[in-house]
Amino acid sequence: MTPTTETMVGIGGAAESTDMVLNIGPQHPSTHGVLRLKLVLDGERIRHAEPVIGYMHRGAEKLFEARDYRQIIMLANRHDWLSAFSNELGVVLAVERMLGMEVPERAVWMRTLLAELNRVLNHLMFLGSYPLELGGITPVFYAFQEREELQNVMEEISGGRMHYMFNRVGGLKEDLPAGWTARARTTVRDVRSRMDRFDDLVLGNEIFRGRTRGVGTLAPETVHAYGVSGPIARASGVDFDLRRDEPYLAYGELQDTLKVVTRQEGDCLARFECLLEQTHNALDLADACLDRLAELPPGPVNQRLPKVLKAPEGHTYAWTENPLGINGYYLVSKGDKTPYRLKLRSASYNNIQALTELLPGTLVADMVAILGSLFFVVGDIDK
C-alpha cells in the first residue's frame, strides 16, 4: 500500500492550539528605551516572556580598564542617566576604600545631600511617566515642573543638568557656591508642598488603581531568587535598604529621619506607592543634611591627590542604595593607574529579569502596566 500524506490548510490563527510570537520593541514607545520583549501568546494571554537585551551595550566595564581612576567617573556616570550622582558615588567609594582614604566630614554630608536630591529627580521621572503609559498625561507635566527646579539647583553646584561629574576620589570637585544652601532649602520646601498632586491626582484616580491593583504581583521568593532590589523589592515586603542596614556616607547619623518604605501586596500599585512615599522621605533627608551642613564650620571638601593616582594591589566591593536599587562596583587592582577589572552590578539588570516570572499568565493589556512598574533604565541593563 502506498503511504499517503494528509495536509490541513486554511486554519490560520483560528486554531485554538496555535501560539503566536509577538515582539514588543526594540523601538516600542512603552519600553523606556531600546529593549525587546519576545512574548509567546495564547490568545490575549501571555504564556512565555523573554527580555532580549544588549541593543544599547557600550562595553563600559571594558572601557573602565583603559581609563585611570579620575576618568572612569565619567563612564560610570552614564549607565543610569537618571541617577548620575549616585553612579559616581559608588566608584569613588570603591577607590577610596582601596586607598584607605578618609573623606572630609563636610564632603560626606554634601555627598549625602546631593545623593538624596538625585533620588528625588529619579523618582519624579517615573512618578510622571508611569501614569502617562496608562493614559494619564497630566502628571508628567507636574513631574517635570518639579524636576526643573531641582535640576536648576544641581546645575548651579555642578555645572551639569544630568551628568554632574561632581564627585572626586577623596571628596568633591569644589565647595558650595555662596547662598546655595538657602536656595536648595527653598526648592526642597517648594517641591514638598506640591507633592500631594501625585497623591491626589494619581493614587486617587479610580482608573489608575483599577489598572494597577492586583496586577503583576511579585512574590518575595522571586525577589530573592532574581536579586531584585530597591523600591520594587520593598513593595513585595522585602525590608532591605543599604542606607539603614549597612550605612555609608552620613546615613548612620540620619536613622531618625530615614524611613524604609515597604508594602506587602507586591503589585504595580504597591510599587508606585513605595516610589512616591520614598520621594517624600528623600526630601526629608535632604532637609536634615542641609541642617547639618549649616552647623559645620568651613573646611576642605576633598583630599590632595598625587599627579598619578594608583590604587594598591587588591580588591574591594562597594555597594550603594541607588534610586532604582542596589548598585555595586567590584574593583580589582594590580597596583596600576587603571583598574585591572571593575565589575558593575546595576539595579535594572537584575530587576528586569523578573519579567520572565511576572508576565506569563497575564493579559497583553496588562503588559505595559507591569513593564512600567519595574522602573528601569535601559542603559542600566545593558551597561
Tell me which of 5-9, 106-110, 224-228, 371-375 is least confident. 5-9
Q: What's the Rg (C-alpha) of the chain? A: 23
When pLDDT is cut at 50, 70 and 90, the band that residue 17 belongs to is low
Q: Which pLDDT belongs to residue 54? A: 86
215-227 per-position pLDDT tens digit: 999 999 999 999 9
Mean pLDDT, rounded, of the chain: 90
State the Cα–Cα distance between residues 164 and 153, nearest whole angstrom. 12
Q: Which pLDDT belongs to residue 343? A: 94
Question: Is the CB of residue 156 less than 8 Å from the CB of residue 182?
Answer: no
From the list 161, 156, 163, the residue with the least C-alpha distance to 144 is 161
Mean pLDDT of 275-301: 95
Please give the residue that has the higher pLDDT: either 256 or 204. Answer: 256
